[in-house]
Amino acid sequence: MNLELFPTELQIPPPVNINPGEWKVKLRSTQPLAISLVHEQLLAGKKRIIICAPCGFGKSIVACRYIERSLAKGKSPWFVVDRQNLVTQLSGKLAFYEIDHGVFMAGSWRFNAKKPCQVASVQTLESRGWDYTADILLYDEAHILRKSFIEFVEKNPDVVVIGFTATPFHKEIGKVYQAVVNPTTVNKQIEEGFLTPLRIFQCVAADMTGAKITAGEWAENEVKTRGQKIIGDIVTTWQEKTTEIFGGPVKTIVFSANIAHGQEIVDAFAASGFNFKLLTGKDDSEEKDAIIEEFRKENQQYDGLVSCGVLTRGFDVTDIQCGIDARPLRKSFSEFIQKIGRTQRCHTWSDGRKKDFGLWLDHANNVGRFLPEMLELWENGVSSLADPPDAKPPRKEPTPKEKDKIFCPKCHQLWTVKGDTCPCGYKRPKKQSTMETVAGTMREVVLNHVKLANSRRELWEQIVTYVQYHGKPETAEQRAYHNYRDMTGSKPPREWQDEFYTIPFVTISRAVKNEFTRKAIAYHKSRQ
């Protein structure tokens, strides 16, 4: 039945024969694209599709529109959310658009199991059993793969599942979902003003060399013990940076390793006269909600919240201006992205001021570890569910040399500025290129009719970035040389080769990445 879902309709607005009236749910910018992309996948025979989009994208509006369309086709769409309080939220949105639905939750005044559209929480479905009457499941927080859901999917392979998430990186995600679409990306959202950019600083971090490991991550207790040494730095850096950048303290969120570690951070801030509140998964949920509600207010009592694993998902306080990362991660890219995303929300205060950017103080070395993946995700989204980042081996620690390239050596801000001068005034040392080099390298680089880069220099920077995060470090320089020669037909200028370790890391374009993949496949085939 799923192939005939929305048979020919790719464009919005929909054909008049379905609903002579106006669609109630109006979409903006990239939202209709999300639905078209899902439609393409359905036509290609895929049943379970991830819509990968950062927060601020408006997933509940897309979901409402999808539900509205499905109902018009006589389908039975269910929206499944990860927490009970989200059920009420989503039901409210459906009601706002006048979409008839039941709330599948005991005690709800909207409870009516006969309605084709239902909103349910996974908790309810797990206790009552997943309902088999739904044609379409719209699944929020799709990166959390519950066992009961996987079993449901195995038993019901024909049910269409549309999963929403910003981080489809779970080890097993590719076993459940068959396709991923990216209607937008973090960088696009920033461009369009739906997310703010970040100013990221590499700060003093705990040395995790040789620390014990539990379930792939550094043991919480190790993070706490080693983190104790830098707690003073956390408080001092926060005071310095917020004063320098905002003129004083701003609403802040801190990520700690465990409760004891979080408590120490709270105490350290208190000793300097700042009111931080610890929030843990163990708190009573009403108490937790009350704290978050208070924190959400514009003039509230806390300078910051310290989270022990509770604020990474769904927590949505948009006027947070500063994030402090004190929990080093070896391999959980999901957790890293969810944490950093908490400071990227847009906000307008009651006096009309707008949030321009979020400040990220990395006391965990996480940015250095996950930078290439982060830049790739922000620019291009997620291209495949195979080989998810959370299943990859631990990321290597950047060397001091690499760090000097990633962060300004003077103020330790992530080097994202174009040009050679950091906002702090530091000028990146650069060797003078000869005139011939400049003239010869300003041309676009085109290979097999595909533009790889705007200039040879740009291509060189991408290659240098790529080789340092793929393959053996000791062969990186050599591989950069050969790849450049293969792609351009000539050698990289000598002075560029000399700069190998001081060239800033850049985003690798899809075309260049594809070229690397193409070469890898060709190499592999030649060896068979």
Q: Using CA atoms, how far apart are residues 480 and 497, in angstroms rounded to an integer?
A: 9
Which residues bind to Zn ion, rule: CB under 5 A?
Answer: 408, 410-411, 413, 422, 424, 426
Contact of 368 with 401, CB cutoff 8 Å: no
User: Smallest distance from the beta carbon of 425 to Zn ion, in angstroms?
Assistant: 7
Buried b (16+ CB within 10 A) or exposed e, 59-75: bbbbbbbbbbbbbebeb
Q: Strand 304-308 to strand 198-202: parallel, antiparallel, or no bridges (unpaired)?
A: unpaired
With respect to Zn ion, which residue has the nearer C-beta, 413 or 488?
A: 413
User: Smallest distance from the beta carbon of 201 to Zn ion, in angstroms?
Assistant: 9
Could you tell me how many residues make up the chain?
528
Dihedral sign from CA coordinates of 184, 186, 192, 193: positive
Residue among 225, 201, 167 at smallest CA distance from 366: 201
With respect to Zn ion, which residue has the nearer C-beta, 38 or 408?
A: 408
Q: Quick one: DSSP state of residue 332?
A: -
With respect to Zn ion, which residue has the nearer C-beta, 201 or 276?
A: 201
With respect to Zn ion, which residue has the nearer C-beta, 24 or 430?
A: 430
Contact of 178 with 47, CB cutoff 8 Å: yes
Contact of 519 with 447, CB cutoff 8 Å: no
Largest Cα–Cα separation, the chain:
77
User: Smallest distance from the beta carbon of 424 to Zn ion, in angstroms?
Assistant: 3
Spell out the SS3 assignment of 31-43: HHHHHHHHHHHHH
Q: Using CA atoms, how far apart are residues 115 and 428, in angstroms rounded to an integer?
A: 64
User: Smallest distance from the beta carbon of 427 to Zn ion, in angstroms?
Assistant: 10
Q: Using CA atoms, how far apart are residues 467 and 478, in angstroms rounded to an integer?
A: 9
Contact of 232 with 203, CB cutoff 8 Å: no
User: Smallest distance from the beta carbon of 372 to Zn ion, in angstroms?
Assistant: 21
Contact of 82 with 36, CB cutoff 8 Å: no
Q: Which two tokens stand for residue 21?
A: 């009236």
Phi, psi of 131 (to 5 degrees): -80, 135
* Burial (Cβ within 10 Å: 0-12, 13-18, ≥19) of residue 97: middle
User: Smallest distance from the beta carbon of 412 to Zn ion, in angstroms?
Assistant: 7
With respect to Zn ion, which residue has the nearer C-beta, 91 or 413?
A: 413
With respect to Zn ion, which residue has the nearer C-beta, 234 or 422?
A: 422
With respect to Zn ion, which residue has the nearer C-beta, 364 or 408?
A: 408
With respect to Zn ion, which residue has the nearer C-beta, 14 or 197?
A: 197
With respect to Zn ion, which residue has the nearer C-beta, 282 or 401?
A: 401
Count CA atoms closer than 13 A to 127's CA, side-chain side. 8
Contact of 138 with 77, CB cutoff 8 Å: yes
User: Smallest distance from the beta carbon of 416 to Zn ion, in angstroms?
Assistant: 11
Q: Which amino acid is residue 405, in one-letter code? A: K
User: Smallest distance from the beta carbon of 404 to Zn ion, in angstroms?
Assistant: 11
With respect to Zn ion, which residue has the nearer C-beta, 145 or 411?
A: 411
Q: Using CA atoms, how far apart are residues 398 and 70, in angstroms rounded to an integer?
A: 49
Residue among 89, 114, 91, 94 at smallest CA distance from 103: 91
User: Smallest distance from the beta carbon of 244 to Zn ion, in angstroms?
Assistant: 12
Q: Using CA atoms, how far apart are residues 524 and 528, in angstroms rounded to an integer?
A: 7
With respect to Zn ion, which residue has the nearer C-beta, 424 or 521?
A: 424
User: Smallest distance from the beta carbon of 230 to Zn ion, in angstroms?
Assistant: 21
User: Smallest distance from the beta carbon of 462 to Zn ion, in angstroms?
Assistant: 23
